[in-house]
Each structure stands twice: as structure tokens, then as C-alpha cells.
């Protein structure tokens, strides 16, 4: 359990320490898609450390996360619900696993592409502010070894 706590702590820590490495900001917590054609379930602060400590041992271990379908395209001024992301957890034989806990972060871009103000994070969706490109980072939480998926997303003008 100590190893899982360390992995959780490393996932919760902002990644990157130099100007060359991207910084990611925590957006939401949730569960991977149950199938390749269903969206994720996510929201703001869905898990507590005590809940994770108690429940993590019951989740299957993923060897990788996979974006199922096309990379997301968001539109300026239109809400993008998290359940439009299709992310599955796979085992070592590439079989889709039941939903597992994940953390979702977005690449820090300046000026901001997404509205990440505190009052907006309580929504189960995100609001794009301007067109551009950014990356999502999705990390499995209950893992002994880090399992992370990073993928590009775009925002277009309406």
C-alpha cells in the first residue's frame, strides 16, 4: 500500500521541473470508460486519500491507458463535458478492464485556453476560452507502477 501511496503522491505533484517540460494542472478525478464506446465518469475531487487507501486494492491493475476514438476537439465558448472523453484501461493482453480510478490534468498554456478558475472546476465539464492546442494527461491512480496517457486536444473557433 505504501507504493500505491507514493504513486498517488507523484501523480498529484505537478510534473516537470524545467522550461522544456510541460506543466500540467489538475482538472478532475474519475473513472476510465467501461467500454471503448462509453465516456469516462469524472468530476472535481471525487476521491479522498482514506477512500483510495481502502478501495485501491480492489481495482484491477492496468498496464496502459488508451484514448478510444479521435482526439477531442473543443469549441470556444461551448462546454466540453468530461464524458466525451473515451479512455479505457487495458491489461497486459490489451483487454479492456472494468473502470479504474484516474486523475485528469491539462497542460498549462499561457494565455489560458481553458477556464480553470476555482469556481469552474466544480463543473463536470470544462469551458474553452480561445482556440489553440493543449494536451490532456490521464493517470491511473491505484497502480504500483505509474500508468499515464498524454494526448493532444484542439480548440476551434465557433
Expressed as residue numbers, the domain containing 148 is 2-14+23-156
> Distance (Å, rounded) from C-alpha 107 to C-alpha 116?
11
Catalogue the E-assigned strands of 32-156: 41-43, 64-67, 73-75, 80-81, 87-90, 101-107, 125-126, 132-140, 148-156
Question: How high is the pLDDT of residue 124?
Answer: 87
Please list the ranges in the chain whose pLDDT falls under 70.
1-20
Instruction: Residue 83: give its domain's CATH number.
Output: 2.60.40
Question: How high is the pLDDT of residue 113?
Answer: 95
- Give the number of domains in the chain: 1
Question: How high is the pLDDT of residue 16?
Answer: 45
Question: How high is the pLDDT of residue 123?
Answer: 81
Amino acid at each position: 500500500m505504501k507504493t500505491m501511496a507514493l504513486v498517488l503522491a507523484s501523480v498529484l505533484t505537478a510534473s516537470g521541473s524545467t522550461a522544456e517540460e510541460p506543466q500540467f494542472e489538475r482538472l478532475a478525478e474519475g473513472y476510465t470508460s467501461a467500454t471503448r464506446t462509453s465516456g469516462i465518469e469524472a468530476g472535481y475531487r471525487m476521491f479522498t486519500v482514506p477512500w483510495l487507501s481502502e478501495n485501491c486494492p480492489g481495482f484491477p491493475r492496468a498496464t496502459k491507458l488508451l484514448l478510444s476514438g479521435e482526439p477531442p476537439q473543443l469549441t470556444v465558448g461551448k462546454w466540453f463535458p468530461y464524458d466525451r472523453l473515451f479512455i479505457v484501461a487495458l491489461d497486459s493482453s490489451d483487454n479492456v478492464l472494468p473502470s479504474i480510478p484516474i486523475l485528469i490534468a491539462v497542460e498549462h498554456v499561457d494565455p489560458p485556453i481553458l477556464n480553470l478558475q476555482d469556481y469552474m472546476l466544480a463543473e463536470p465539464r470544462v469551458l474553452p476560452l480561445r482556440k489553440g492546442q493543449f494536451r490532456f494527461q490521464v493517470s491511473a491512480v491505484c497502480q504500483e507502477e505509474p500508468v499515464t496517457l498524454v494526448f493532444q486536444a484542439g480548440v476551434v473557433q465557433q
